[in-house]
């Protein structure tokens, strides 16, 4: 019978370590069953699961590897693996794997400990931990910093709903973001991102900005907030707010558009998505004038929003055509996906308000961005502490990956 060994190699990283080990294994006609390597701050950790053929001198193999690595001042340990343990490992093949992504301005040891503890409590085992964010300066500001660590976990949580709830509690307690998603083929093959506009891509509700110009800011803002919290039906609230804008001079639209501020990370996210071949869309309960302004600025592929009705240079207090509410947003997401030949699992939706929930719920990845409590609790994922480009981490892209595109 073959002898199975787990070979652990560690020490100061230098050229030739992997070559020395694998050349010896080749000489003894060893089969490599698994291999993994990581380097953390110039410290090498290499693991090889090896099968030594019957009739080969395993003791001689061990000594040969030790001699080769001694010259490089590298440590090595051989651990025998039973056939039962190996077969148990093989049986895990094809079973679900999950990704837990930890995002914060600065990641502290207690954040990692909390995630590891909850993961263990729900019968999940951490296979791999990878830092996706770039290297931080020692004096980097917590306000401007961005950190992300990705955990690859194996197994099935004993209670998936409670596990997600426990992660949300951790996120709230530590003021960080924690995402949990299945690591499947769709995670690596998403091709369309659909954005809400107001308070998602931009740091404002445009209808509130127009209301300020019309002198009815406080009245409209109060209705807007109630709608975003889900306290008022969107269509009813929208009709009420639009009526208050009647008589507004349409000449102010351009100046309002020019003072709109993009939310943190919006420009970097969309430019990166475009370079990676993604299609992007704005599907908004706001107005086409501003959606098209952002389309020109950012290079967004599709824009769907409400068309302001203007007569004789003044806003009439109505919109032309159907009001885009939550259900209509979901319908438009489906239509765009179909036009692009995509499955819904390949679509990402991003929004902040209650009227975004229908599209967030049908997208393969629905992300609540700096969202109201109701939306954050209902969405599949949420980002509250980083900018919009934190979405790239949820897709598995590292800062090193995206730096190549700049």
pLDDT at site 141? 53
pLDDT at site 145? 80
CA nearest neighbour of 276 among 108, 402, 187, 181: 402
96-182 CATH choice from 3.30.70.260, 1.20.950.20, 3.40.50.620, 3.40.50.1820:
3.30.70.260
Tokens standing for 297? Answer: 């600025």
Over the stretch 185-213, which tens digit does the pLDDT of each residue have? 888 899 999 999 999 999 999 999 999 99
Largest interatomic CA distance in the chain: 94
Contacts of 51 (CB under 8 A, 6+ apart): 2, 3, 4, 30, 31, 33
User: Does the annotation mark 143 as catalytic?
Assistant: no
CATH no., domain 192-404: 3.40.50.1000
pLDDT at site 67? 95
Q: How far apart are CA 102 and CA 273, in angstroms?
A: 21
Q: How far apart are CA 270 and CA 391, in angstroms?
A: 10
List the catalytic residue out of 177, 196, 325, 356: 196
DSSP 94: T
The CATH homologous superfamily to which domain 3-91 belongs is ACT domain (3.30.70.260)
Kindly give the residue spans of alpha helices, DSSP state H, lying in 71-158: 83-91, 109-121
pLDDT at site 144? 66
The owner of tokens 């004789």 is 312
User: Does the annotation mark 249 as catalytic?
Assistant: no
CA nearest neighbour of 207 among 226, 222, 220, 195: 220
The owner of tokens 């070559």 is 19
> Cα separations (Å) of 145 from 37, 247, 387?
28, 45, 11
> Cα separations (Å) of 268 from 146, 149, 255, 326, 388?
14, 20, 24, 27, 8
Over the stretch 199-255, which tens digit does the pLDDT of each residue have? 999 999 999 999 999 999 999 989 988 887 778 888 899 999 999 999 999 999 999
List the catalytic residue out of 13, 183, 198, 406: 198
Report how far Cα 4 is from the mean position of its chain's Cα atoms.
38
pLDDT at site 138? 67
Q: What is the pTM of this model?
A: 0.88
Q: How far apart are CA 283 and CA 348, in angstroms?
A: 12
CB 94 within 8 A of CB 66: no
CB 354 within 8 A of CB 339: no
Q: How far apart are CA 249 and CA 272, in angstroms?
A: 37
β-partners of residue 10 are 45, 75
Environment class of 202 (CB within 10 Å of its CB; exposed 0-12, middle 13-18, buried 19+): buried
pLDDT at site 387? 96
CA nearest neighbour of 113 among 102, 123, 105: 102
Positive or negative: CA dihedral 212, 198, 168, 146: negative
Residues of the chain below pLDDT 70: 1, 138-144
For the chain, residues classed under CATH 3.30.70.260 are 3-91, 96-182
pLDDT at site 205? 92
pLDDT at site 140? 59
Strands (E), 132-277: 147-154, 177-182, 192-195
pLDDT at site 230? 77
Tokens standing for 51? Answer: 């099968």
- SS3 assignment for 147-167: EEEEEEEECCCCCHHHHHHHH
CA nearest neighbour of 329 among 298, 367, 289, 360: 360
For the chain, the average pLDDT equals 93
Collapsing DSSP states into helix, strand and coil, what is residue 199?
coil
Strands (E), 201-346: 279-287, 302-311, 314-320
């Amino acid at each position: 019978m073959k002898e199975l060994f787990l070979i652990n190699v560690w020490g100061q990283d230098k050229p030739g370590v992997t070559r020395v080990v694998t050349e010896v294994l080749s000489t003894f006609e060893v089969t490599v069953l698994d291999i993994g390597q990581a380097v953390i701050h110039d410290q090498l950790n290499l693991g090889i699961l090896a099968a030594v053929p019957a009739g080969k001198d395993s003791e001689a193999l061990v000594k040969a590897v030790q001699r080769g690595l001694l010259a490089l001042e590298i440590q090595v340990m051989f651990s025998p693996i039973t056939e039962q343990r190996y077969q148990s490992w093989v049986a895990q093949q094809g079973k679900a794997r999950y990704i837990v992504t930890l995002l914060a301005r600065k990641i502290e040891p207690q954040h990692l400990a909390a995630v590891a503890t909850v993961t263990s409590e729900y019968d999940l085992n951490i296979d791999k931990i990878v830092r996706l964010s770039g290297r931080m300066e020692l004096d980097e500001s917590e306000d401007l910093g961005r950190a992300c660590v990705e955990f690859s976990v194996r197994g099935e949580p004993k209670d998936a709903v409670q596990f997600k709830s426990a992660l949300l509690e951790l996120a709230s307690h530590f003021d960080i973001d924690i995402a949990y998603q299945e690591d499947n083929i769709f995670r690596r093959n998403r091709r369309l991102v659909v954005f809400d506009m107001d308070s998602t891509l931009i740091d404002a509700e445009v209808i509130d900005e127009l209301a300020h110009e019309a002198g009815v800011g406080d009245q409209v803002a109060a209705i807007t907030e109630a709608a975003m919290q889900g306290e008022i039906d969107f269509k009813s609230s929208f009709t009420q707010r639009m009526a208050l804008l009647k008589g507004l001079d349409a000449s102010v639209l351009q100046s309002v558009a020019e003072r709109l501020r993009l939310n943190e990370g919006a420009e970097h996210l969309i430019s990166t998505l475009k370079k990676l071949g993604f299609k992007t869309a704005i599907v908004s309960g706001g107005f086409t004038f501003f959606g098209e302004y952002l389309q020109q600025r950012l290079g967004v592929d599709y824009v769907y929003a409400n068309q302001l009705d203007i007569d004789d240079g003044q806003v009439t207090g109505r919109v032309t055509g159907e009001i885009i509410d939550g259900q209509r947003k979901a319908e438009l997401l489906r239509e765009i996906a179909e036009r692009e030949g995509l499955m819904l699992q390949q679509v990402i939706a991003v929004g902040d308000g209650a009227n975004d929930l229908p599209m967030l719920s049908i997208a393969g990845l629905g992300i609540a961005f700096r969202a109201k409590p109701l939306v954050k609790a209902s969405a599949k994922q949420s980002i509250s502490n980083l900018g919009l480009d934190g979405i790239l981490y949820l897709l598995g892209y590292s800062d090193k990956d995206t730096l190549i595109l700049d």
